[in-house]
Amino acid sequence: MQMMSDVLEDKLGGGAPHSKQSLRLWLRLLTCTSVMEREIRDKLRTEFDTTLPRFDLLSALDRAPEGLTMGQISERLMVSNGNVTGLANRLEQDDFIVRQVTKPDRRTQCVKLTPYGRKEFQKWASAHEGWVDEMMGLLNASEIETLLELLHKTKISMGQARGKGRSK
């Protein structure tokens, strides 16, 4: 089944001016992201009986061994506090995380991985790394580095365009 972005990309054809090439690039990035995300979601579900949002929350905590507040998690994952609360409730029930009230503000909770959560997440993260590596298997190290540099430049360009849009 051909994805909508592929259909749109096919209709644009080759030899397009810069604006058409920019659109083709955006559609290609969207397709790659969608395919990778779907594959990772499927593998997390089938191999670990978990979800990508759970993986993402545990990943954020794995990078912050001192713990994070619910607000910090929400900010890092770019989701609402309500989404984080629901995920945290289920992860706490499953003994992946622990929430502790902080001293200065008793309303603020610090969330940390439990030893069990850290151990399980390491299994997931190792598998995840392998899946991504496999999906990028046709690219050599130099090509990956070039793509990283170009995507960094693309991110800067988007930031500049975003800034221009705010000044209007």
Q: pLDDT tens digits, residue range 23-69?
A: 999 999 999 999 999 999 999 999 999 999 999 999 999 999 999 99
155: helix, strand or coil: helix
The Cα 168–Cα 164 span in angstroms is 7
* pLDDT over 80 at 14, yes or no: no
Q: Would you place residue 165 in the very low, low, confident or very high pLDDT band (cuts 50, 70, 90)?
A: low
pLDDT at position 46, please? 98
The DSSP secondary-structure symbol of 27 reads H
CB 38 within 8 A of CB 67: no
Q: SS3 of 128, please?
A: helix
74 near 81, Cβ under 8 Å?
A: yes
Task: Return the minimum-mean-pLDDT range out of 114-118, 132-136, 140-144, 161-165.
Answer: 161-165
Architecture of domain 50-148: Orthogonal Bundle (1.10)
Confidence of residue 16 (pLDDT cuts 50, 70, 90): very low
How many residues are listed for the chain in this entry? 168
Where in the chain does DSSP place strands (E)? 68-69, 97-101, 109-113
